[in-house]
Structure 1
Amino acid sequence: MADIASNIETIQSKAAELDGLVTQVRAAKAVIDAAEAEIRKLRPVSEPSRAYQERLALVALDAMAKPSIAGDKTVTELAAIAWAGVA
């Protein structure tokens, strides 16, 4: 069993790791949001969106908020399904 000081060290280390992940998520979300906005401008208004084609970053945020749920498709899988056959 770890002592209090070891547990505090672990928490601080992992907190720094989470800060790095938050920075990466913000950057990835900004890029995805920009790409989705550009697609909305370029595609015909009459063309309906398929599931997950827009707001994929929000799906990722939701998945991070519930990491204990196993078996969900990954964001990568959802993106591949959403954009399969689209040019």
Structure 2
Amino acid sequence: MALPKIEEARNLSDEALADAIVAAKRQLFELRLQKATRQMEKTHEFKHTRHKIAQLLTVERERQRAAEQSEVTTAAQPEIADTPVAEEE
């Protein structure tokens, strides 16, 4: 099993991304439990799961920063007043 690709995480919606983060963290907990009870066979799954969590959190943070950046740019733009301009005769 190869390491997960970040493009897979970027293709998820915001809700699916949040669900994937929770699921990956739960999987990591279960892996720790298996290790503690000496039932673990595939030790490489720790690395893969931590890698996946890091990717998911990175994508989530990228989206948060993009949203913050768009708020800043829209707030910095001057609004055009709706008052009519007097015409000179």
Q: TM-score range by the shorter chain?
A: 0.3 to 0.5
TM-score, length of structure 2 as denominator length: 0.37
Return the index of the structure with the highest Cα Rg: 2
Structure number with the bigger relative contact order (C-alpha 8 A, sep ≥ 6) is: 2
